[in-house]
Structure 1
């Protein structure tokens, strides 16, 4: 495999039973590259190992005053120089190729697993760990794969040097052969402590990364309530802990490097002293002494690769273990590949959407609104309706679409069938045209989707932000995560994107929580009109949305408690009326499934339900969102 062949057509099925097995699987899949790198490495190190005898022959020729012997030694030295240069160049080239191809394979595997799991990935793995695996861990894994062949070539060259010295000068050769294993394995007792310190450093770095990402994501809200200094202080403390751990880890690796320098130096001193004695006694020649001295001096170079492979393995094994843990995650059931239809979209079953866990039934072709007292329960229900279990540790019960398990469908078919837009949709940077260029059925024009989501003011703002102040808003740039737009504008653009996709089932979780009441009413009518004949599920507690729904479902204590029209439920269901109208004392934050985290003060679900205000009154979650926009 060469770099220009990347990406892989099929990166393969990894062995994720452990980090070590994953590394072995990577090396086995790059066996050809490893062999090529090993061969070039042997040429390089063998040339270095043969250089001392050539120098010894030249010295002996000078002592013997042999011009022909000196010429032959010079020619041999030139040939060895060419071999050393060629071997070093190609060893570096093939080793880096192994590094890049291994890293590319891991990145492909991670990207495919991330696409397969979707939003369920961050429910099972911390966001900081996902970032660490996809960046630094990939490089460390590639480093080990790259260093493996160079270490093998260095180890074989040391064996050849020892054998050659034993044959060439037995009196000194046996001393070097006996000392070489000690030098190679001298750092082994220090590795466990160095590895532990490196693990502590990586753990603290992962926590600091997660803390930083959480702080940046919530910076607008933190500034609105004056809490950014608290989180910055936490990050400073975490950063200092990472620095201290890094210094402790560096000290251990510095000690290992010192051992790799000191011991070969002591061996060299011993060889010189003992060799000088043997030369004085006439047991060896001056040329043999110079040869043995040069050979021992050059062994320091291949011995450094023992330190490198120890470091590479110590750093890459935890990285491989984290990567294997992410790659081992899977959907509850894997579907077989399904052929796409003429439009490129995988065929999907039609019919009603049914959740056996809650008893929620969304008839095909209707707009169903779902009211949950607990916003966290609503979020978990939205994830379930998208084919992901809301509670990974609990018993899994699949949502059914037309009687077929949704998570048993092929991923392409499942994504075509159901689209979930959560409370905080992400807008990628780029032009508005690129933002709305998403896989779709092609039946909903972009203009109609923007009109239904009432994005007229967004288009005007983007046009004014263009270079000439009156450009095409579709070519205007949307900044990262849409930070230049207000919360309501971002929400409506995300809704337009979902409408353009035109899935068979569209699930919207609080799609208008940051929108004013007048605009919300127009958005509700636009969604109802554009989604006519398509299955739509809206999880909300806004009367404006509930009033346009074909049917409203009340979920209480994790189960469907009532079904009917909005106005009927207002009259007949006291709990529904308390949640929708936000009556004082409504148990909005406590009526979810057991273990809910939506209680006041938890910081979750701020876009739905009520939050205690600073003066003891109840502050609506939408007011908090508008406070964030003003901040």
Structure 2
């Protein structure tokens, strides 16, 4: 099970994988914790022996010897717990990190699909809270084994004191453990929905916070608040139900443990009253009964953690098992075409074991044939050529059509009908990361990263790239001129320290600096003023001269610099021509001037 190769897995697979990955440390922790619990169980037994020696007025040397044994027992149990805890917590911490890497690897898989149907906040909850709950079992399991060993040691010790006491422990513990497993089932049933709803509420909150400016601007803030309030109340209700189930479970376990230990104390007291055991043995029996409270409570605690861990493991497994949004791609014959993408993936080895060549330094041609958008339009679909020279452009009356086209070009999805080729080779024949390196789709809402402005511009560029030409073409040099430290000014996460127009220009400069064979830009100037937009249109055309560029936009300034413009309406190509020619079409004019 790896993040880069998702396959069908279950919550049980996740649990087993987490435990198996650190079985050495878990085994060491279990052995040390068992030693600790055995030492704890021996304490009341040794105290009873010391009391009998003192009461009987025995040999002082023998008494001193038993006291030394008691002290040695304390040393052993103390160090056993210390080093056992180190092993267990190490296994837990690294298991948590391992599961987070698996989830992150699946979500970052170039083939996509892992995020399907889940909000970002929900995915964060799975990658943080659920992985933590599963990894806690790496500590809980050694504690559970140690608790069972403590019960076994106590039972053997009580057998040496009185047969009825030992049999009571041996015969009474299995039914008690069975009862614990029965009462934990409601908690397990409610843990899954509780975690699901809590993650959904967190996802809704993150979604609303990220779009707060837009919501405020369109007056939708009250509706957003009501939406979050409903989601939060739903999560609260699920949490309260799960908490009540946990409280009922823990209360039932405490009651069962108390009754069981009371029976042990009663049997031991009667044996002492009848003279069947000595005073020291009675102290040992009572001490062992009190000691058993801890191990039996630990069994209940571990059962609760196991119930929650199973629910979390199922949620993790659901993400890891999501099928990819696009195929893995093959490896086209390197000698059958020119200008193919290759080393842009950062990995020279491709599926099938054949070596991918680096992208050609020369121009590349992107061709779309028969692509049907959203299942509408004529059977022939969309035909589009993006060749070196003036940018090609697509104007869509329906944003959904534009989104579908962009998703196919970015290999976020494979088209059901039609083909997309790069220099004659099907885009789907390449691994997604390779195809995206050759056909770079710069999204309209691209995020910036924490770091300097220059660092953001060069994030996708090759080594030794000069950021100045790309910044000038995108008018990002104007942004740098207004900042305290110029291009070295640090940018906050997602560029929140900048205005919308500034972020957009830096994101455009980053796309230009990447110098992809084919660059697809989606509405790159919606947040800038008309003067700046005109400058960007001119700089963009000059910077990408001799390269293949596609503009998916409704900006008249950008469209005026385009060579061929394809106008889409109702999922079909309504008209093709230059921007000036298409302005005679009332429908086109309405789209680009609205």
TM norm structure 2: 0.86
Determine the structure 2 residue equivalent to 1:626: none
Partner Cα separation in structure 2 for residue 559 and residue 76 of structure 1: 89
**2:366/2:518 contact within 8 Å kept:** no
- Residues 414, 456 of structure 1: alpha-carbon distance in 2 compared, 3 angstrom cutoff: same
Partner Cα separation in structure 1 for residue 70 and residue 474 of structure 2: 78
Partner Cα separation in structure 2 for residue 513 and residue 552 of structure 1: 19
**2:201/2:231 contact within 8 Å kept:** yes
Partner Cα separation in structure 1 for residue 418 and residue 319 of structure 2: 22
Partner Cα separation in structure 2 for residue 185 and residue 374 of structure 1: 61
Partner Cα separation in structure 1 for residue 447 and residue 55 of structure 2: 79
Cα drift, residue 126 of structure 1:
2.6
Cα drift, residue 515 of structure 1:
2.1
Once the two structures are overlaid, the 10-residue window that deviates more, 494-503 or 227-236, is: 227-236
2:399 to 364, 375, 382: 375
Deviation digits for residues 451-475 of structure 1 (CA, Å, limit 9, x no counterpart): 101124312321xxx2xxxxx3112
Partner Cα separation in structure 1 for residue 546 and residue 344 of structure 2: 21
- Residues 459, 252 of structure 1: alpha-carbon distance in 2 compared, 3 angstrom cutoff: same
Partner Cα separation in structure 2 for residue 38 and residue 295 of structure 1: 21
Once the two structures are overlaid, the 10-residue window that deviates more, 72-81 or 96-105, is: 72-81
1:481 to 486, 491, 494: 494
1:316 to 304, 309, 320: 309
3-state SS of paired residue (2:469): helix
Determine the structure 2 residue equivalent to 1:363: 386
Partner Cα separation in structure 2 for residue 342 and residue 47 of structure 1: 57
Cα drift, residue 540 of structure 1:
0.8
Is it true that 1:70 corresponds to 2:63 in the alignment? yes
Partner Cα separation in structure 1 for residue 414 and residue 500 of structure 2: 26
Determine the structure 2 residue equivalent to 1:610: none
1:84 to 77, 82, 104: 77
Cα drift, residue 328 of structure 1:
2.2
**1:444/1:499 contact within 8 Å kept:** no
Determine the structure 2 residue equivalent to 1:551: 564
3-state SS of paired residue (1:419): strand
Partner Cα separation in structure 2 for residue 342 and residue 417 of structure 1: 9
**2:107/2:114 contact within 8 Å kept:** yes
**1:128/1:213 contact within 8 Å kept:** yes
Cα drift, residue 118 of structure 1:
7.7
3-state SS of paired residue (1:116): coil
Determine the structure 1 residue equivalent to 2:592: 580
Once the two structures are overlaid, the 10-residue window that deviates more, 187-196 or 84-93, is: 187-196
3-state SS of paired residue (1:451): helix
Is it true that 1:384 corresponds to 2:408 in the alignment? yes
Determine the structure 2 residue equivalent to 1:518: 531
Deviation digits for residues 294-340 of structure 1 (CA, Å, limit 9, x no counterpart): 22221221222222222222222222222222222335222579984
Partner Cα separation in structure 2 for residue 386 and residue 513 of structure 1: 21
Determine the structure 2 residue equivalent to 1:594: none
- Residues 474, 238 of structure 1: alpha-carbon distance in 2 compared, 3 angstrom cutoff: same
Matches within 5 A, 1:102-251: 102-117=95-110, 121-251=114-244
**1:347/1:413 contact within 8 Å kept:** no
3-state SS of paired residue (1:388): coil
Partner Cα separation in structure 1 for residue 264 and residue 5 of structure 2: 52
TM norm structure 1: 0.82
- Residues 388, 398 of structure 1: alpha-carbon distance in 2 compared, 3 angstrom cutoff: farther
Cα drift, residue 269 of structure 1:
2.3
**2:253/2:297 contact within 8 Å kept:** yes
1:30 to 18, 22, 27: 22
**2:370/2:417 contact within 8 Å kept:** no
Determine the structure 2 residue equivalent to 1:42: 34
3-state SS of paired residue (2:549): strand
Determine the structure 2 residue equivalent to 1:453: 474
Partner Cα separation in structure 1 for residue 319 and residue 421 of structure 2: 27
**1:19/1:317 contact within 8 Å kept:** yes
Deviation digits for residues 506-535 of structure 1 (CA, Å, limit 9, x no counterpart): 111111122222222221121111112222
Determine the structure 1 residue equivalent to 2:335: none
Q: How many residues align structurally? A: 562
Partner Cα separation in structure 1 for residue 223 and residue 31 of structure 2: 57
Partner Cα separation in structure 1 for residue 84 and residue 473 of structure 2: 61
Once the two structures are overlaid, the 10-residue window that deviates more, 412-421 or 132-141, is: 412-421
2:278 to 276, 281, 285: 285
- Residues 274, 149 of structure 1: alpha-carbon distance in 2 compared, 3 angstrom cutoff: closer
- Residues 122, 374 of structure 1: alpha-carbon distance in 2 compared, 3 angstrom cutoff: farther
2:264 to 271, 292, 300: 271
**2:9/2:320 contact within 8 Å kept:** no
**For structure 2, which runs of at least 5 residues remain unmatched after alignment?**
332-340, 349-356, 373-381
Task: Find runs of 4+ consecutive structure 1 residues off by over 6 angstroms.
Answer: 10-15, 336-339, 341-346
Cα drift, residue 443 of structure 1:
7.6
**1:400/1:406 contact within 8 Å kept:** yes
1:493 to 500, 506, 515: 506
- Residues 418, 199 of structure 1: alpha-carbon distance in 2 compared, 3 angstrom cutoff: same
**2:521/2:552 contact within 8 Å kept:** yes
Determine the structure 2 residue equivalent to 1:590: none
Cα drift, residue 119 of structure 1:
7.2
Determine the structure 2 residue equivalent to 1:585: none
Deviation digits for residues 103-144 of structure 1 (CA, Å, limit 9, x no counterpart): 111121222222224876545433232121122112112112
Partner Cα separation in structure 2 for residue 214 and residue 521 of structure 1: 33
**2:45/2:157 contact within 8 Å kept:** no
**2:33/2:143 contact within 8 Å kept:** yes
Matches within 5 A, 1:399-548: 399-442=420-463, 445-462=466-483, 466=484, 472-548=485-561
- Residues 341, 138 of structure 1: alpha-carbon distance in 2 compared, 3 angstrom cutoff: closer
Partner Cα separation in structure 2 for residue 487 and residue 534 of structure 1: 28
